[in-house]
Amino acid sequence: MRPFPLLTTTADPPLQQGRRAALVRLLRERGVADERVLSALMAVPRHLFFDPALAGQAYQDKAFPIGAGQTISQPYTVAYQTSLLVPRPGDRILEVGTGSGYQACVLLALGVDLHSIELEPTLFERAKQLLTRLGARAALYCGDGSVGLPEHAPYAGILVTAAAPHVPSALLRQLAVGGRLVVPVGPVGQAQRMLRIVRETATSFQREEFDDFRFVPLRGKGAEPEQNRPVST
């Protein structure tokens, strides 16, 4: 597991370590079975992604607003999506929706080559500054993640942290053969179904459906209705 250089006793006091360990135990009890993912969540100081006044709430298994209509995802959701992605060290991964940068750091702790894109400039700048302080090396971009980053494709995995009305076809095209797209799909205001789509060949995909979640909406060209296309299975 990759260490984060800022994790000193000052930045990560024993009280926060204990809260984080309790959260990891809770996630294990809720059914998160991938020990690598649990170790990554233990390695990342979630309280540093919060305003200091709210740091005491950082290890609750809840989502919290971070501004611009976005949230830092519930830890269970982060663990769930990361487990479905099955990231391996060295995998080139695209994260659509950097947000606070917390999910990005969990992926980095797993040793991936991360490319992360955020549409909202204020969140992008905030996450970039924090990840720099943490010594977390990721390629960060400000732009429309719904259409991916084709200049860096193909990806072994693509993780979408917002609710798409349909599977963005541009993201499917950027998967490597054997690559996995994890994306919540469904209407805003209702539960979305978590999907994992695996590219089996250049022209065929396998679609799997999992549990329901609630996410903020994906924005951008790839989330527009006219972009909807069927997925081969």
* Model confidence, pTM: 0.92
Quick one: pLDDT at residue 4?
53
* Residue 36 to residues 32, 39, 82, Cα–Cα distance (Å): 10, 5, 10
Quick one: pLDDT at residue 8?
44
pLDDT over 50 (residue 6): no
Q: Which of 159, 147, 64 is nearest to 106 (CA)?
A: 159
Quick one: pLDDT at residue 189?
83
Average pLDDT over residues 204-224: 96
Quick one: pLDDT at residue 232?
44
The DSSP secondary-structure symbol of 4 reads -
Pairing of strands 70-72, 92-96: unpaired
pLDDT over 70 (residue 172): yes
Number of C-alpha atoms within 13 angstroms, CB side, residue 142? Answer: 9
Tell me, what amino acid is at 51? D
Quick one: pLDDT at residue 138?
95
Report the DSSP beta bridge partners of residue 64: 72
Average pLDDT over residues 104-120: 97
Residues with a known catalytic role:
73
pLDDT over 70 (residue 233): no
Q: Are 126 and 69 in contact (CB under 8 A)?
A: no
- For residue 95, which phi and psi values (nearest 5 degrees)? -105, 125
Quick one: pLDDT at residue 188?
83
pLDDT over 50 (residue 68): yes
Quick one: pLDDT at residue 10?
54
